[in-house]
Structure 1
C-alpha cells in the first residue's frame, strides 16, 4: 500500500509535513490498515500518515475531541463503514 493509494488527495483534509518539535510525540492508536496513526505531542493531538519520499504528513492538530472526530472518520472510511457516535477517552 502506498501513500497515494489511501485517501489522497480526495479525503478533503489539509495535510502538511510533520515537523518534529522539542516535545516527544506518542502514538496513541494505529488504524487497522496501518496507514494512519493518532498521536499526541505537547498537549495536542494529531493524525499522521506516511508521506511520499519518507517521513510523515499530519492533519487535524488540536484538542483530543476535535482530532478524534477526524480520526474516527478516516478509520471508518478505510473500513467502508460509518464513524462511531462517541468520543473515546485518550489513554
Structure 2
C-alpha cells in the first residue's frame, strides 16, 4: 500500500459481486473454485505478467488469513487474478474468509 492509497474493507460477497476471477489455466486447483494461483513456478510467472491492479494476494498476518489487492511477496499464500482492475487510489482488504 502506498501513502496515497485509501484502505477499504471489502466483504467476500462484495468482492464476488464486483470482480470476475480468472481461472487457473496452468494447473488444476481447488483454490477458489479453480481460480487460485500458487506462489512459485509457472503459476507465479503468469501472475507477475498480469496488470498490477488485477492481482490479489492471500496473506497470513498474525495468524489471520486475508486477501489484499495488489501483488505481495511477504507472507503470501496464493494469488488471485481478476478481469477488473482495482482503482489506483484504493487498497482493498477482505477479512471475512
Q: TM-score, normalised by structure 1?
A: 0.29
Higher relative contact order (CA 8 A, sep 6+): 2
What is the TM-score of this pair, normalised by structure 2?
A: 0.27
